[in-house]
Structure formats: structure tokens, C-alpha cells
């Protein structure tokens, strides 16, 4: 099937983003992928295909009816997560999964097991696409790209399905929080859009975390340890004290649903200086603001104990909960997706995103943009997999949204 062939071709192209480069796009491989994608869109017959200097790809499927309807957009991101290598991806197809362990890599004894990932058992009898255990797969979000492109190809081949104007947008650097940085909402020209960047079949999301990054810098004072009494300030020890002052169970490994957290993502240091990198997340805006204030409060306590200037805090808001822009004025966009899912036999699973998407920022930029499932599971690691039937249903949902919008 063209959908699967397209997806397998996409994931073999390295598009890993890199937060350390300060380039746009952050890696040259994303621009190479964007060039190939833009050419493919032209070849299948889409119009107004554009590729800008920042690797944003846009295209149009013109309306095939005189009926005036809202312009819909479909959006997916081209980059894969820096959390694990996306180079030399070698996907493998498991036919008619039998519910047993899947050996991803016999040599390295890497196994995808339902004991560790019980969600596998939901897909018994289905064909799955997995990794070879040495890289991530890249279904996040090349599945979304493949589903959107194949849906447009289907609509071009079936003019009896009437639809309004459809705009496509493919972005770089979503995985490092920059996917919407250079997205031209005005040029995109859609009334509303959907990102296909969700997980398992049926997921539909119009609310996400409010998000901020936090960096705590600790200045120490190093003297010979044999003569350190009442003189040394060990920055590593002070940093450890700061970590212990935050609520122990308000971390990712202890939270779910609407529960927010503080997540220590990196720490490094010496006696002289230490740094702690955090991300702060909460769906509720008031609790989110309180979490940021708590970080500052704890920095102040460190300074009271060890001297002013010992600890400094740098906070940066990253994105906000799109629900504030969707509910109540744009709930018709969500309802359209619900109706399309039900029409193709998919039960909608409306749930909050415990993360963010390009759609969150785009919603605040004036483009209401809920998130629809792309079908993959266990993103960002070697145990990532995607059921082929879920991909087909995601494609069908895109087609049905276009069709219902024209009715």
C-alpha cells in the first residue's frame, strides 16, 4: 500500500533535530528531507507548493466544488526526537502480531515485550512496524506526514469526494520546541487546522500542558578540603539540597492525567559551580504560575542560607494550554474531528496531551489547531512501534474531515 511504502521511505531519512546548534532548521538533514517532500507534493499533483529558507513546506489541494467552506489545514512535523538516534533507521514489519515478545535485536537481546508494554496486546492479529532496537522509529511524526500526503493523493484520485480548499504544512524542529517559530499563519491561510501528531488510534486532544523551562545556577566557593570548615560552599551539595526541596512525588514518574510536575532533565557541576535544568508542566494556568513562583521561592531560600547570589533562576515560558483558544469559541473544530472519527469506525478518545504540539502555539497565533492521532506508541525510543491499521484509519479520518466539512 502506498501509505506504508511512503512511511517506510520517510523513516529511513535522518531528520533528527538538535537543540544545541542555534540553526534554522537545527540540522541540515531536515532541509534535505523538506526538499524531497516538496518535490513529492508537486509530483502527486498538489498546487502552491512552497519551501522557505527555514525548511517549512506548504502546499494546497484546491477545492473541487463551488460551495464556499472553511479552509482546513493539516500539519505534521518532519524532525525526530534528539532523545535517541534517528540515523540508519531499519524498520521491520511484524505480520499478524501473536501477543508474544517481539525480538527487535537478537544480538543485543533487545525485546519488545507485552509484560513491559501491555498496550501491545490491544493489537493482536495486526501488522506492526517496529524498530531494529538500535534507533527510534520516527513515527513521531513521519506517520503523520505519510497519512496526510496519502490522504491528499487519494482525494486527487477520487474527485467524486467533494471538498473545500485544503492547506498542508510540514514543520521542522517541533521536537525541540521551535516548530512554530517561523510558521507563517497568514500565508498558510487556513481557518483552522489539525496536527496529526498524536499517539494511539482514536486520540483527539485540544488541551495540553502549560510549559516552561527553568535553569538554576549555583555558585560555590572552593577551598582545600582539609581547611574548608566555615569557608567552602560546595555547589554540587547545594544543588542536591535544592533538588530535595521540591515535592518528591510531583515528577513525571509519579503523575498522570491532569497532574503537573517538575522534571529535572540535566544536572552538572563542580564544587565551584553547578547547574540544574528543569521543565515545569501543568494543565491549569494558575497552578502553572504557582509552580514557577515556587522555584523562585526555593532559590530565595538557598540565598538566605548561603548568601545572596549563590543561586539564580532563569525561567522561560515555552507554550500554553491550547484549550484557552479552543473552548468555547472553536469547539466546532473538535466536533468535526469527532464526527469524522465516528464515521470511519474509530471511537474518539478525548484526553489532555501530557506534552505539547505545534498546534498549541499555533492556536495562540490565531490558528485553532487540535491534535489527532497518528497511531504510534512508545515515541522517542527503541521500543517505538505503530500498527498499520491505525495508520490507515488516521488517513481515513483526514479524508472524512475534508468530506464532512463540505456537506
pLDDT digits (tens, 9 = 90+) for 264-319: 999 999 999 999 999 999 999 999 999 999 999 999 999 999 999 999 999 999 99
pLDDT above 90 as % of the chain: 95
pLDDT at 292: 98
Per the CATH hierarchy, to which homologous superfamily does domain 2-207+321-405 belong? Zn peptidases (3.40.630.10)
Domain 210-318 is in which class?
alpha beta
Question: What 8-state DSSP symbol labels residue 221?
Answer: B
pLDDT at 407: 87
Q: Are the C-beta atoms of residues 120 and 97 closer than 8 Å to each other?
A: yes
Q: Are the C-beta atoms of residues 262 and 291 closer than 8 Å to each other?
A: yes
Q: Across all residues in the chain, what is the average pLDDT? A: 96
Domain layout of the chain by residue ranges:
2-207+321-405, 210-318
Confidence tier at 41 by pLDDT (50, 70, 90): very high
**Which residue, 236, 210, 218, 212, is CA-closest to 298?**
218
Count Cα atoms within 13 angstroms, Cβ side, for 214.
26
**Catalytic residue chosen out of the listed positions 14, 40, 79, 396:** 79
pLDDT at 349: 96
Q: Is the pLDDT of residue 177 over 90?
A: no
Q: Is the pLDDT of residue 1 over 80?
A: no
Q: Is the pLDDT of residue 355 over 90?
A: no
pLDDT above 70 as % of the chain: 100
**Catalytic residue chosen out of the listed positions 14, 40, 173, 174:** 174
Q: How far is CA 371 from CA 4, 60, 119, 264, in A?
A: 22, 20, 21, 27
- Burial zone of 98 (CB within 10 Å; 0-12 exposed, 13-18 middle, 19+ buried): exposed
**Which residue, 355, 320, 353, 342, is CA-closest to 393?**
342
E strands, 106-236, where?
A: 110-112, 128-130, 166-171, 192-198, 203-205, 210-219
Question: For the whole prediction, is pTM greater than 0.85?
Answer: yes
pLDDT digits (tens, 9 = 90+) for 80-117: 999 999 999 999 999 999 999 999 999 999 999 999 99
Q: Is 32 a catalytic residue?
A: no
Q: Is 174 a catalytic residue?
A: yes
Residue 90, C-alpha cell as written in the block: 531499519
Alpha carbons 132 and 130: distance in angstroms, whole number: 7
Q: Are the C-beta atoms of residues 378 and 113 closer than 8 Å to each other?
A: no
Amino acid at each position: 500500500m502506498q501509505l506504508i511504502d511512503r512511511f517506510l521511505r520517510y523513516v529511513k531519512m535522518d531528520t533528527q533535530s538538535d537543540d544545541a546548534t542555534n540553526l534554522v532548521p537545527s540540522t541540515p538533514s531536515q532541509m534535505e528531507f523538506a526538499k524531497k517532500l516538496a518535490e513529492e507534493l508537486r509530483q502527486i499533483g498538489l498546487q502552491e507548493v512552497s519551501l522557505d529558507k527555514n525548511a517549512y513546506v506548504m502546499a494546497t489541494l484546491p477545492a473541487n466544488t463551488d460551495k464556499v467552506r472553511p479552509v482546513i489545514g493539516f500539519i505534521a512535523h518532519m524532525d525526530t526526537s534528539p532523545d535517541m538516534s534517528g540515523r540508519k533507521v531499519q524498520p521491520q514489519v511484524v505480520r499478524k502480531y501473536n501477543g508474544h515478545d517481539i525480538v527487535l535485536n537478537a544480538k543485543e537481546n533487545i525485546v519488545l515485550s507485552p509484560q513491559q508494554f501491555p498496550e501491545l496486546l490491544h493489537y493482536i492479529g495486526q501488522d506492526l512496524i517496529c524498530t531494529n532496537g538500535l534507533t527510534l522509529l520516527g513515527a513521531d511524526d513521519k506517520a503523520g506526514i505519510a497519512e496526510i500526503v496519502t490522504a491528499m493523493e487519494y482525494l486527487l484520485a477520487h474527485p467524486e469526494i467533494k471538498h473545500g480548499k485544503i492547506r498542508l504544512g510540514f514543520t521542522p524542529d517541533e521536537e525541540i520546541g521551535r516548530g512554530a517559530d517561523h510558521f507563517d499563519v497568514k500565508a498558510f491561510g487556513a481557518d483552522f487546522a489539525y496536527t496529526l501528531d498524536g499517539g494511539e488510534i482514536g486520540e483527539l486532544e485540544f488541551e495540553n500542558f502549560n510549559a516552561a523551562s527553568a535553569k538554576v545556577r549555583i555558585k560555590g566557593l572552593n577551598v582545600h578540603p582539609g581547611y574548608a570548615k566555615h569557608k567552602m560552599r560546595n555547589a554540587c551539595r547545594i544543588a542536591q539540597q535544592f533538588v530535595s526541596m521540591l515535592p518528591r512525588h510531583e515528577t513525571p514518574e509519579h503523575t498522570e492525567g491532569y497532574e503537573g510536575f517538575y522534571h529535572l532533565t540535566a544536572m552538572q557541576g563542580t564544587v565551584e559551580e553547578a547547574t540544574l535544568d528543569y521543565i515545569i508542566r501543568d494543565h491549569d494556568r494558575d497552578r502553572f504560575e504557582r509552580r514557577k513562583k515556587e522555584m523562585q521561592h526555593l532559590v530565595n531560600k538557598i540565598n538566605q542560607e548561603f548568601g545572596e547570589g549563590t543561586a539564580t533562576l532563569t525561567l522561560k515560558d515555552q507554550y500554553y494550554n491550547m484549550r484557552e483558544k479552543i473552548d468555547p469559541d472553536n469547539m466546532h473544530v473538535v466536533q468535526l474531528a469527532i464526527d469524522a472519527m465516528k464515521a470511519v469506525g474509530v471511537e474518539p478518545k478525548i484526553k489532555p496531551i501530557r506534552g505539547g504540539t505545534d498546534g498549541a502555539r499555533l492556536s495562540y497565533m490565531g490558528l485553532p489547531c487540535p491534535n489527532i492521532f497518528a497511531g504510534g506508541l512508545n515515541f522517542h525510543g527503541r521500543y517505538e512501534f505503530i500498527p498499520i491499521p491505525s495508520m490507515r484509519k488516521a488517513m481515513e479520518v483526514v479524508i472524512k474531515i475534508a468530506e464532512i466539512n463540505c456537506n
